[in-house]
């Protein structure tokens, strides 16, 4: 055997001895790409706090008179509170975050009032943990449906599921949503529906549910004809509502005749927060109505947000923007 062959045999024998003595765990250790990552621990939604961020919303100016404000739609990111480890402790009773993840619920009801021929029907969304957090009070959003629909329209669009999802992630605060049924049609001067809302429904909600019964924590919004009602309430009864959302707005003819008078009666430091949006392929008469009201706001130098998106006068359009609506209504609540 040559000197080099003898040296190679000695080296191979040495490494064979080392491998035979190594623990089995090291012999079978997986490569890094085969190791399943340990999932990050996430605390229940009740134990997160939100920090402000901004998600820009792109607006299209349809005409020189329709000015789009560049205010960003508020979005929020989550930050885990590492001190809330008590949430992981077993308990025989439901924990706060168990009801939080279960979501809210919608109730239906009706109110008898001498102002209307038939009872005033409504739906009300109560947020997650409403029963469990017995001392907590909530801001309220009143949402009105469109023509030929009923109080189930916003429900069908998924306002409750959208609210549940955003609340569970800590991206909007818990709130109560009231959805009245306008069964009468016609102009506001032809019915006492508006009186029934302001004199019967709103006081009833404040008495029955744990609302924050002040203007700053009460918003009103609607789509199509319902947007006309939202404008009616926010402008003619500005003391009641601090926020106005008008989605695909159709202004009532009788209200248009009095709109300048109403706007002139609102103190300049008491204008509601206003958000308007509409699809660029909406019905021409409704698009003209929305542009007329937006131009009027510009004339009176009233701050507002105006958004012209791609879309039609359809439930698909409103459903696509539900999350954005709720983020806007609940900003800084």
Domain boundaries, the chain: 52-329
CA proximity to 178, closest of 141, 229, 217:
141
Q: Report whether pLDDT(93) > 50.
A: no
**In this structure, are residues 254 and 187 in contact, taking their beta carbons and an 8 Å threshold?**
yes
pLDDT of amino acid 6: 44
pLDDT band at 44 (very low <50, low <70, confident <90, very high): very low
Which pTM value belongs to this model? 0.73
Q: Which of 14-18, 196-200, 208-212, 222-226 has the lowest mean pLDDT?
A: 14-18
Q: Which of 59-73, 112-126, 311-325 has the lowest mean pLDDT?
A: 59-73
Q: Which of 86-90, 180-184, 296-300, 321-325 has the lowest mean pLDDT?
A: 86-90
pLDDT of amino acid 16: 43
pLDDT band at 97 (very low <50, low <70, confident <90, very high): low
**In this structure, are residues 293 and 276 in contact, taking their beta carbons and an 8 Å threshold?**
yes
The 3-state DSSP class for residue 307 equals strand
Q: At what angle do helices 322-329 and 159-168 cross, to 10 degrees?
A: 60
* Residue that has been written with the tokens 């907590």 in this structure: 136
pLDDT of amino acid 38: 31
Query: 252 or 72, which is more confident?
Result: 252
CATH number for the domain whose boundaries are 52-329: 3.40.50.1820
Strands 218-223, 140-144: parallel, antiparallel or unpaired by DSSP? parallel
Q: Report whether pLDDT(105) > 50.
A: yes
* Residue that has been written with the tokens 């229940």 in this structure: 44
Interatomic CA distance for residues 84 and 95, integer angstroms:
13
Interatomic CA distance for residues 251 and 253, integer angstroms:
6
pLDDT of amino acid 41: 29
Measured CA to CA in angstroms, residue 314 lies from 94, 101, 224 at distances of 41, 31, 9
Interatomic CA distance for residues 188 and 277, integer angstroms:
23
Query: 328 or 35, which is more confident?
Result: 328
Q: Report whether pLDDT(309) > 70.
A: yes
Interatomic CA distance for residues 114 and 168, integer angstroms:
40
Interatomic CA distance for residues 194 and 176, integer angstroms:
20
pLDDT band at 98 (very low <50, low <70, confident <90, very high): confident
Q: Report whether pLDDT(49) > 50.
A: no
Q: Report whether pLDDT(223) > 70.
A: yes
pLDDT band at 102 (very low <50, low <70, confident <90, very high): confident
Q: Which two tokens stand for residue 148?
A: 């030929």
Chain-centroid distance of CA 330 in Å reads 7
Q: Which two tokens stand for residue 56?
A: 């820009």
Q: Report whether pLDDT(28) > 80.
A: no
pLDDT band at 29 (very low <50, low <70, confident <90, very high): very low
The half-sphere exposure of 333 on its side-chain side, counting CA atoms within 13 A, is: 30
The average pLDDT across 81-101 equals 46
pLDDT of amino acid 226: 98
pLDDT band at 100 (very low <50, low <70, confident <90, very high): confident
Q: Name 168's Cβ contacts closer than 8 Å, sequence gap at least 6.
A: 45, 100, 101, 103, 128
Of all residues in the chain, the percent with pLDDT exceeding 90 is 68
- If one counts every other C-beta atom within 10 angstroms of the C-beta of residue 57, the result is 19
Interatomic CA distance for residues 229 and 178, integer angstroms:
14
pLDDT of amino acid 208: 98
The average pLDDT across 114-126 equals 97
pLDDT of amino acid 101: 83
pLDDT of amino acid 107: 98
Q: Which two tokens stand for residue 4?
A: 């080099």
Chain-centroid distance of CA 176 in Å reads 11
pLDDT tens across 242-295, in order?
999 999 999 999 999 999 999 999 999 999 999 999 999 999 999 999 999 999
pLDDT tens across 149-164, in order?
999 999 999 999 999 9
Interatomic CA distance for residues 311 and 318, integer angstroms:
9
Chain-centroid distance of CA 60 in Å reads 23
């Amino acid at each position: 055997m040559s000197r080099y062959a003898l040296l190679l045999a000695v080296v191979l024998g040495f490494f064979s001895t080392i491998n035979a003595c190594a623990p089995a765990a090291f012999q079978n250790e997986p490569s890094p790409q085969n190791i399943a990552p340990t999932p990050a621990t996430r605390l229940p939604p009740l134990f997160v706090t939100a920090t402000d961020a901004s998600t820009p919303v792109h607006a299209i100016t349809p005409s020189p008179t329709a000015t789009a404000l560049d205010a960003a739609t508020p979005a929020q990111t989550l930050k885990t509170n590492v001190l809330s480890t008590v949430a992981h402790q077993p308990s025989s009773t439901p924990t706060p975050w168990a009801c939080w993840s279960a979501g809210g619920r919608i109730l239906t009801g009706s109110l008898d009032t001498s102002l209307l021929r038939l009872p005033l029907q409504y739906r009300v969304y109560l947020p997650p943990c409403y029963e469990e957090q017995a001392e907590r009070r909530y801001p309220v959003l009143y949402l009105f449906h469109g023509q030929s629909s009923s109080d189930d329209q916003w429900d069908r669009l998924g306002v409750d599921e959208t609210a549940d999802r955003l609340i569970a992630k800590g991206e909007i605060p818990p709130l109560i949503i009231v959805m009245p049924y306008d069964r009468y049609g016609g102009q506001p001067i032809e019915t006492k529906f508006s009186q029934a809302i302001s004199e019967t429904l709103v006081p009833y909600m404040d008495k029955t549910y744990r609302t924050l019964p002040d203007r700053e924590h009460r918003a009103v919004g609607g789509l199509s004809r319902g947007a006309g009602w939202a404008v009616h309430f926010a402008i003619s009864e500005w003391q009641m509502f601090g926020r106005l959302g008008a989605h695909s707005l159709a202004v009532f003819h009788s209200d248009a005749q009095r709109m300048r008078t109403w706007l002139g009666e609102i103190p300049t430091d008491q204008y509601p927060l206003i958000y308007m949006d509409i699809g660029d392929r909406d019905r021409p008469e409704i698009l003209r109505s929305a542009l007329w009201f937006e131009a009027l706001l510009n004339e009176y130098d009233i701050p507002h947000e105006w958004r012209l998106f791609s879309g039609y006068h359809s439930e698909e359009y409103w459903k696509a923007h539900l999350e954005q609506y709720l983020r806007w209504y609940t900003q800084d609540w």
